[in-house]
Structure 1
Amino acid sequence: MPAIPRTPERPSAAFAFSPGAARALLTPEAVAAFDEVCALAPEPLHEFGSPAAREVLSTTEVLITGWGCPPLDSDVLAAAPRLRSVVHTAGSVRGLMTDAAWERGIEITSAAAANALPVAEYTVAMILLSGKRVLETTSGFRTARTAVDWSLVPYSVGNYRRTVGILSASLIGRRVIELLRPYDLRILLYDPFVTADEATALGAELMGLDELFALSDTVSVHSPLLPGTHGLVSRELIGALRHDAVLINTARGPVVDHDALTEAALAGRIRAVLDVTDPEPLPPEHPLWTCPNVTLTPHLAGSQGNEWARLTDLAVEELRRWAAGDGFAHSVGRERSAFLA
């Protein structure tokens, strides 16, 4: 792309992605939209160490970052004396922003809110499909190839007055609760940072962690992976789940005790929908690959395909606001950054 003359109204900017993220996100339409707002460097940066990258950094005021962007450490910041802000087209900024970047006062915005929507949509779809046992029935129906006697379907199947437990009122957890409002479901919530009144306003009943697992037909995990949430879904909590309950995880694999989950699933006591695992992906010989009551998907709940345009649309609008002096609508503070998954 040709270099664009820089003016005070159009801050100098550079893309910083992995090559794969650049291919996914930087469509001609997205680049043209950024072009209208800022003066872009000719090519995306995939690293910050080469002489060519250092030359770009020396004049860059805004970095437009995404998956695979290297950390903004003190060495990078020294090479970027004019850098004032970061527009991040992905969710978490924990691997990007360093102590040096925060101390320098770099402003940053994240597309976490935009990326939360497809994860929430995936979650709601899996809640409803698992409530009807669609995922499990499809395989058996394909094998049997014969009519099913609907009168023999257990009363536990269905989504009428089913109890759904949401683990964490994160951006995604809140969006899931919002999307579930039209359905005849009882929504429970565990989040130690939410009050009972706040939960009610969201449309959920605040519960203790043990209660949520004991009372829910489906538990959906939306906790970020932090030192305090590693293994949060413990063997004891998995053991407290009702027979045939469903555990959905779209957060991070290590939030769940995978040994306990595997044992409960193989015993046929619970079902699971896992978009993330520990490790990820599971080894080829892992028994969950062939467990009929477990659905595994390859970390696809987040933005993919045409959903990437939602991330760049938000980033363009954030950059437009910042360039106009209005500040970021989705600014991420240092204290909040630790809680973005």
Structure 2
Amino acid sequence: MSTSKLFDSYKLGPITLSNRTVMAPLTRNRAVAGFVPNPLSVEYYAQRASAGLLITEASQISQQGQGYQDTPGIYTQEQVAGWKKVTDAVHAKGGHIFIQLWHVGRISHSSLQPNGGKPVAPSAIAAKGKTYVNNGFADVSEPRALELSEIPGLIEDYRVAAKNAIAAGFDGVEIHAANGYLLEQFARDSTNKRTDEYGGSIENRARLILEVTKAVVKEIGAERTGIRISPVTPANDCGPDSDPKKLFDYIVDGLSAEKLVYLHVVEGATGGPRDVAPFDYAELRKRFKGTYIGNNGYDLALANKALAADEADLIAFGKPFIANPDLVARLKAGAELNKPDQATFYGGGVKGYTDYPTLAEVKQAAE
């Protein structure tokens, strides 16, 4: 039986987490008509409520923000009602849950966009990549550059989504500013070639992230607002920034000044090597005055090491939570983990979603 700090309770703003494990956001492409959370999602998240904190799959703030088939939104009352069933179920199990707010920017397809239009981006630079639409993979569509006049409306979409999240019963929201989606596209000089006040200098390229953050904080409070960043990930053809340290030092200083409840950092390549490019995450940890969540490739040994060295406050696990609804109990017992079935990650029904057995169920079946 482990005595790791991972299983200690933790105060996150106004809520007390039962342990320091976080279920990372995991896209599952199972929304039903109207991009409403699938009724199966109620069981899926409730099954995993023993995590200290659940962060939902990324959920678009508007139709324009959608990039993949069957992902849920948080911009209509039907979506809010669907999510309320999820939050009620998680809270009934004693869990805590944040929703991740998403705008994919250029990582989209015109078939998903309002009136079949082009996806939007800081600059009209197409990504080399594919998205999942019409039950298959297709090249992402060529984007158009957002007009300066459209940016206030975009920020307003984040504010309204945050307001909707609280109405849906979430304990807070995580702003998705990672993995090569819209906010990171604005931040990096590899994807942002603008010449107005949202392009050029680091201060200008970081402006949208910080303005979105301020709008969300003003709406729901800093103690309910977290953010996710990924300083060096190559995800979604987001080329490296020319000076990632300087860029993210500036961004994190700005986020810390807003007193956000947490900073969630993808350390390395999203779902890939942690050492994809050199970066000093310890420096971000020092600069940010709130809770630091470490993410990417963590197992129990690496989590224990990071917590013991005070390199993180909370540890996010992704794929292990897909196949192990009782991941916390399994880690605590040193038990074997179920292996995830990658063929069922995106889309589908019960299989590979709510049918993974708990340790107790495995033992019961063996008796």
Fold-level similarity (TM above 0.5): no
TM-score by length of 2: 0.29
Q: Which of the pair has more CA radius of gyration?
A: 1
TM-score by length of 1: 0.31
